[in-house]
A and B are shown apart, each in its own frame.
Chain A
């Protein structure tokens, strides 16, 4: 199981032709991430780490190269197939939480499962299990605006886990959190990683996240500068 490759990028390039001056955001990235990893992609602003994360998540297309998730080449999928693939295989945690404001914490977690047409019993059990796991068993019926930033990000983690994805992509998940919330969130994610073997990939420049990661991939000018497994 430990050697099961979940994410593989081959010769990944991404060039933006904005303002007729090409911007090379990613230049030839080859990485492999196996199941159960707790990986941080680090680098300064503009290094290309978010672009790399977007490509891995199937939100953006590479200009060159391929991205293979659990054996599936994403470039072979049609737009709607790609959406379905994302929905069933990839969980997203965003910097600004991005919960649906009109839904409660429970409904936010349930939402993706509804899109997956899971039955009510299954949805209800999994929602409870996940909200309990992120320490929000008393916030089921509370809307995002009534939750703190840390609590919202924990709901976002529960939502990302709801469809039982192959891995979680978290784009600067602690950027808007104070130190206590950051510690709580990292504790929860580390526990889920260790106890349930869930694969996490972060893009971050937060030292607290880097310290907790077991693998750190440094990106600079769109290239992998170093890849350290602790």
Chain B
């Protein structure tokens, strides 16, 4: 076997041009596949991070059935069990409470349906950086009793900081909800949906407005380990049980985003498969060329006593070594470029940037720098080359020494 490997190793450098063509084919396959996959994943991770961290969080806890109804009647008591839940899993940084409902917001002669969110100002700011989005007035302080409203809504209602917003709606278990709030600040969101209808109140003010003292609708999981969110959700489900509460990760909370990502990834996969196919033809071509060129030599080896399986193993070694060099070189070549794209995201401009902004997503194209992508793509290309290298087996099997040496 060692002799076969020695022969294979020396044969590799016999026809340098063929070796270089084969290695380059594999190298570019790995390079393009890893680059494409990293860019696609990086860009989608950015979209998910923007959407998830700006509002939804990576997971939420609700009263059972709340996410289906979005009704205050499915709110839950913000009790000690929920308050201390953050200690139950090391992946949880904090749990951020919200009371979410709807109301009619009025100022002067204008009225509009609004989304009212009662928040813990400190915790909410840690999760969503809401204070950074203030464009007028100020963020909630300890004694705040007023409201922070989105700029689109403010424009519609002709409100500005210092004015009073009147809200009326239905509270917990059918109570009348009515209140007036001083506009303390104004925030701006990229997403028109958020920007035209959001009203933030301190949590206790919202609970008072809706007659839901001590209650919340959502408890958002704040984590710095989003990749472990499935584990965290599972651990929370175990701790809380499934009778009273529902624990949902972001994929369950926003299935539309998951579908969009899957669609785009599927498109990318088709493109990758076409790339694999093209590269396979390239590598297959060099294999055919090699078999044709060395047919005479194989006839001689058979004549002097080498068995067909030994010739095949020698050729297989040759291809595997080339595949290994190509895959390694492809990864080493792709790494710096992907890292550069990861560290220096390319800012989008024009219509594309506006489209991203309108959904509150950072308008950049970036790459994911993850060892998993390099390993996965390296393995895929390596397996393709390994499978292709089985072709000589069929050629060698039917080899006849006299015909080969003609």
Binding site for B on A (CB under 8 A): 54, 57, 59-60, 80, 83-84, 86-88, 92, 94, 98, 100-103, 111-112, 114-116, 159, 163
Contact = CB atoms under 8 A, between A and B. Distances in A.
A223 B301 CA distance: 30
Given A59-B402, A94-B300, A87 B305 contact: yes
B302 interface: yes
B304 A92 contact: yes
B7 A100 contact: yes
Interface string B287-300: 00000000011001
Contacts of B402: 54, 59-60
A84 B10 contact: no
B300 A80 contact: no
Contacts of B307: 80, 83
Given A59-B401, A83-B305, A159-B304, A114 B14 contact: no
B14 A115 contact: no
B304 A59 contact: no
Contact of A98 (B3, B300, B310): B300
Task: Classify the interface of chain B: helix, strand, loop or mixed.
Answer: helix
Contacts of B304: 86-87, 92, 111-112, 159
B149 to A, nearest CB: 79
B302 A83 contact: yes
B14 A101 contact: yes
11 contacts: A83-B306, A84-B305, A87-B305, A88-B305, A98-B296, A98-B297, A102-B11, A103-B10, A115-B306, A115-B310, A163-B305
Contacts of A57: 303
B14 A59 contact: no
B391 to A, nearest CB: 21
A91 to B, nearest CB: 8
Nearest to A92: B303
Given A59-B402, A94-B300, A102 B305 contact: no
B305 to A, nearest CB: 3
Interface string B143-179: 0000000000000000000000000000000000000
Contacts of A54: 402
A114 B305 contact: no
